[in-house]
Amino acid sequence: MTEQNPFKWRHFQADIIVLCVRWYLRYALSYRDLEEMMLERGLHVDHTTIYRWVQQYAPELEKRCRAHLKACNDFWKVDETYIKIRNVWFYLYRAVDSEGNTLEFLLSPTRDAAAAACFFLKALHSTADEPPQSHLVEEQMAQPAIAANPATSAPRVISVDKNAAYPKAVADLKAAGALPEHVELRQVKYLNNLIEQDHRFIKWLAKPGMGFFSFETAWRTLQGFEVMNMIRKGQLQSVAKGDVRGQVALVTKLFGVAA
């Protein structure tokens, strides 16, 4: 896949591919649902083909959207939810600001201070308008040293639940200089109602698939779910929340496809 033509050598037209990928990432549909919907339009597209499209283009959509995201405020609400992979529960770390805008997300096999620290570092990099860390969480956790980055945009307040891993992660980041000392950590459960409600949209999208079969496929799909959720909430420049046609036009424009 090239930056200029990401659909080169594909059997189907680019607009059909973008349509299937966008529908899967935006609505609670299974791959077989989409196969049947395409058949109604006279197109014979196997559900496994649509699966391969999602795996290929969901991370690419997230990558292309990053440069167009609006700035979020400095009140972070952080929490993790459960994602099932091969009948094993994994942890999706997520953060929103006080207005409900998605800040960052990270899938992790563990729920401890190391995983929380990796998530905070990823969030710091993304809010500082630096290139997002696209490698998987195992690669991040393989680097025990926490590098200081004085250029990152730090939050003013981080609101979390009573998970004991968060204070340790924040303390480690402050000791390493990656997080300023003035950042306040609040462990008040009711303050996180906003992000707990926001989890529901991602869980709703993941439900038709009945779980994932590998960490990598889960991560690729979740990247697409999250970025479509951002688009839905109006987090991209020049496209407002509720402007469905504008959101559709934005996705097609990002891939260089005529609407």
Alpha helices in 27-147 (DSSP H): 31-40, 47-66, 113-127, 137-141
pLDDT at 1 over 70: no
- Residue 16 CA to residue 33 CA, distance in Å, equals 15
Q: Write down all domains in the chain, each with its CATH number in brackets.
A: 14-68+236-254 (no CATH), 75-198 (3.30.420.10)
pLDDT at 144 over 80: no
- Residue 176 CA to residue 38 CA, distance in Å, equals 53
pLDDT of 32-70, one tens digit each? Answer: 999 999 999 999 999 999 999 999 999 999 999 999 999
Q: Which of 115, 94, 113 is nearest to 165 (CA)?
A: 113
Mean pLDDT across the chain: 88
Model confidence, pTM? 0.88
Please report which confidence band the pLDDT of residue 209 belongs to, taking 50, 70 and 90 as the band edges: confident
